[in-house]
Every structure is written in structure tokens, then in C-alpha cells.
Structure 1
Amino acid sequence: MATNPYRPLSRGPVRRIGSTVLIYAVLIFGAVIILTPFLLSFMTGLKSPVQFSNTSSLSLPSPITWANFQELFGPDHNFISPIAVTVQMTVVILVVQLSCSILAAYAFARLSFPGRDIIFWAYLATMMIPAVTTIVPLYGMFTAAGLRNTFWALVLPTLFGSPYAIFLLREYFRGVPDDLEAAARIDGCGTLRVLWYVVIPYSRPIIATLTVITVVSHWNNFLWPRVITSGPDWAVLTVATADLQSQYNGNWTLVMAATTLALLPLIVIYLIFQRQIVNSISIGGFK
């Protein structure tokens, strides 16, 4: 029996094509919603105050001016100091916090000691306490210790580990094959050598993800630096930008230039670590 060469396509491929188009349309719409504020911030920073007030906020800067960025680094604002303080604070917190979190997570995941699970869940329960509730006690402690308006006041509260980081690393370390650790111990490795040569290389994706999360959270930290510091000596980038906004309430082009300046390092860091972040998500989902 001859088949009909003009038989219409089955509904299966058509439905798959339609669902794919719908998914991509939703993703594109979401990307536009998320990226538009950043694009508007950058475009506003490239406009003069007169151009910003006389044109639509969605219009492209014409002509492009870099005067706002130059003014930020001028003698009136001197944004070099807030950037330097923010970089120092973020780097110190990242290195020490990540090191302490890795050591604690390995102890909770791979070592046996009395009360291990009780200590872990009690420490993890501190994530349920809002950070705002600890601001006043911390302020009193650092003021009594004479550390107010110092660099150590910026870094000490979050320096020695993070409950979220320890929880995430612990769950990942528990997935390290026991055979790898056993083989390393047969070769004569102690606990620290096993951690350094086996567990950490195996966990690079999740460590890269935590690196990005830690940098972003502390680079954008505002409340604690605002409370514990005063004056320009130890002002971080977020505080300096807030002071700029309150001091020059009508000059939004200058404020948006400062905001764009604060965003650029985070975008660069994400572009560097994006593959490791995707790998950590895919490996975690596979497990």
C-alpha cells in the first residue's frame, strides 16, 4: 500500500518546537528585565546632568562624556580610598573566611569526634538569626575594645567562617569518594595532606562558587561598615556612594557613575569563574 508523501507532520515535533520557543522567549524576557537596570546605570553615568534632565532615561548618551567618572577620582571625592579599603577588606575576608570554612567543613564531613553533629547543627542554626539583630551588640563590643572606625572592625565579625559556606562545603565534601581518601592515606598522607591534595582539588567548582558569593556579599556590604565607621578614612565603596547620593541628591549622573564603578569588578569576577559555577551546579545536581 502506497504511503501519502504529503502527510502532515505529527504533533510531537511541533509541540517540542513550540515549547522551546516559549522557554527561550521567557528567558530572554527575564534577561531583559534583569539587565536593563545595569544598562541604564551605565548609560546614565555617561551623560551630562543637562542631557540627563532633558532627555529620556532610555535614550543613548549623545555625546558620551566621561566627566562623571573623572570627577569621582578628583580631589572633591577621591574614590581611590574607598576602592582600596573595599578591596583590602574583601580580600582579607575571602582568604581567611574560606580557609576557616574549608577546615571546619572537612572536620564536620570526614572526621569523627564526640558531639560532631550536635555542634554542626547548633552552628548552622545561627543562620536563622537575622544579621540586623547582632548589629547593636557587635557595635558595643567593638566600641568597648577600642576598635571602632578601624580596619579590624570591618573584617573581624565575618572573618572566621560562615555557616552557609561551611554547610555547602560539608555537603560537597561528603560526596568525595572514600577510595580517594583511603588511597591517599595508604600513600602516607595525613589529614591535612588529604585535604590539600585530594579534597580541595576535587571540590574546586564549589570553592569557586563560594569565592564569588563571598566577594559579592562583602563587596556590597553596607549596613555594618556604615555603623562601625565614620569619616572618609575607612569608608568602603557602598558607604562612599551613599554619601555621594545624599550630598548630591540631584546629580544622578554622578551617582550612577559610582554605581557602575562598583559593579564592574563583580562582573569581571563572574566572567572569570562562570565555568566553575556551572560545573558546581551540574555536579551537585548529578549527585
Structure 2
Amino acid sequence: MAKRFLLYAVLTLGAFVSLFPYLLVVLTAFKTQAQLSTTAPWLPGLPPTTANLAEMLAGDFPRYVLNTVVMTALLTAGQLLFTTFAAYAFARLRFRGRDVLFWLYVATMMVPSAVTMIPLFLIMRELDLVNTWYGLLVPYLLGSPYGIFLMRQFFKTLPAGLEEAARIDGAGPMTILLRVMLPLCRPALGTLAIITVISSWNSFLWPLIITSGDDTRVITVAIATLKSGIGVDYHLMMAGSLIALVPMVAVFIFFQKHIVRSVVLTGLK
């Protein structure tokens, strides 16, 4: 009983530490600017106010939310499409230099993303794609090393007999991929989709560098712009953060089984 009590105490403490920042976001979002200086951060403002949320929703913030939804949907669709084709080629098709090319591509995961930001920006500038949807999406639309690695490892776990039987029946590589392999890859595709949705929704550095107008501004950049040289509107910033947090909480609630499965599958790495 003592060990069990200690275990639950540690788990409770860990859960509190993990949830405390989100609690501060919720509490601060419902405080007025005057209550920020008169109330402790971990205490609610009385009476709570919804003026911060109303002010954010009355401006251009809904447009930024829509931009983020569009960006996340397109990046997720592109990742699932191109990553699946590339992973199938690396896992099942035979061509000269396949393994060398694959491991060279996977090795790029060791390169910090900040290192490639400036070259990517220079390429987008030469192509006149700065502050456009093409510049925002293209560098991350055609797959990622981690996604290709994940899908390739999953393809390699599937029995080769299924593919051979389909080939005997006259099926080509595309038919085998679409009708035989993909229906068996739903767990891996769900894992990749969840990872891509979360990373795309929280993306900040690249959208900050490549976009500057309202037509392409995403929610993370919009929240950062609330900090000016004069001061920080913490109550508005936390209201925007709360709006940005709600979709991710909904994703977790509705897809928690797939998220748990994704944690298991990412152990393939």
C-alpha cells in the first residue's frame, strides 16, 4: 500500500506540473487587465470576464484560425500522400542505391531545422514565393524524413506473401499499394496524421519568417504579434492561446486511442 500510495502521489504531482501551465492560460484569459496586477496568477479573477475572448473573436483572429486550419489540412494531406509513395518505394521496390539514398535522407533528421531556415527562405525569395501560400506550404508538403522512416518500417512489417499473391494475380505496384497495402496501414497513417496535425498547428518559426500579411498569417504568429515594444497584453495573448488550445484538446478527446497507438508505433524509431 505504501508503494502504491507513493506511485500515485508521484503521478499526481507530475499531472499537476503538466497541467498547471494550461490552468494559467485559462485563468488569465478570463481576467481583466486590472485583475492581472491585483490577483495572483494561480487565482481566478472575480468576477471573470469574457471580454478578452470577445475582443479576439471580433477582430481578424478568426481569419488566422481559418488560415491555420487550411495550412494544417493541406500539410497533413500532402504528408500522407507523398510520404506513403516514397516509403513504399523504399520498402518494397528494388532499384540501385535504394538503401544508401534512404539512409542519407533519414540522416537529415539530425540537422536542426533552424540550420535550413535561411537557405529555404533564400530559395523562396528567388522563386518570388515569400508571403504566399506556396512559400508557406511547399517546403513541408512533400513528406518528411521521419514520416517516410515511420511508414517504411511499417511496410516492412507486412507479410511479403500478400504482395506476391497480388502480383501473381496481375496487379502492378500501384494496385498493390492502393488495394493491398494501404488498407493494412491505417494505424501507421493515423499515427502520421496525428503527428503532422499537431506539429503543423503549433508551427511558428517558418510561418513567422515566410509570411507577413494577414492573408497567410497563422494563429501562432498572430499570438506573438500581441507582444509589442511598449508592453505585452497578457490577457489578450492568453485568450488567443485558449482559442488555439481548444482544437488540440478536441483532437485529443476524440482521437485519444489513436494517440496512444501512435506512441506505441513511434517506438519503431
Q: Same fold (TM over 0.5)?
A: yes
Counterpart of 1:252, as a letter, is: Y
Question: 2:19 matched to which residue of 1?
Answer: 35
Of stretches 272-281 and 50-59 in structure 1, the one that deviates more from structure 2 is 272-281
Say if 2:50 is the partner of 1:45: no
Say if 2:58 is the partner of 1:91: no
Distance 1:282 1:239, change over 3 A: closer
Question: 1:264 matched to which residue of 2?
Answer: 246
Q: In the TM superposition, what whole-angstrom CA distance separates every residue of 1:72-107 from its partner, at most 9, and x where no partner exists?
A: 1224xx102211211111111110122111111111
d(CA) in 1 for partners of 2:242, 2:230: 17
Say if 2:234 is the partner of 1:252: yes
Q: Which blocks of at least 5 consecutive residues in structure 2 are unaligned?
A: none
Q: Which blocks of at least 5 consecutive residues in structure 1 are unaligned?
A: 1-16
Identical amino acids, percent of aligned pairs: 44
Shift of 1:247: 6.4
d(CA) in 2 for partners of 1:47, 1:276: 35
Question: 2:47 matched to which residue of 1?
Answer: 63
CA contact (8 A) 2:191 2:261 kept: no
TM-score, normalised with respect to structure 1? 0.86
Give the superposed CA RMSD: 2.1
d(CA) in 1 for partners of 2:108, 2:233: 41
Shift of 1:64: 2.4
Q: In the TM superposition, what whole-angstrom CA distance separates every residue of 1:20-66 from its partner, at most 9, and x where no partner exists?
A: 33333222211111111011101110112222221111112432221
Counterpart of 2:84, as a letter, is: I
TM-score, normalised with respect to structure 2? 0.91
d(CA) in 2 for partners of 1:23, 1:187: 56
Of stretches 89-98 and 55-64 in structure 1, the one that deviates more from structure 2 is 55-64
If you compute each CA radius of gyration, which structure gives the higher value, 1 or 2?
1
Question: 1:241 matched to which residue of 2?
Answer: 223
d(CA) in 2 for partners of 1:18, 1:183: 57
Question: 1:6 matched to which residue of 2?
Answer: none
Say if 2:8 is the partner of 1:24: yes
Counterpart of 2:200, as a letter, is: H
Q: How many residues align?
A: 268
Shift of 1:115: 1.0
Counterpart of 1:272, as a letter, is: F
Distance 1:24 1:215, change over 3 A: same
d(CA) in 2 for partners of 1:218, 1:168: 18
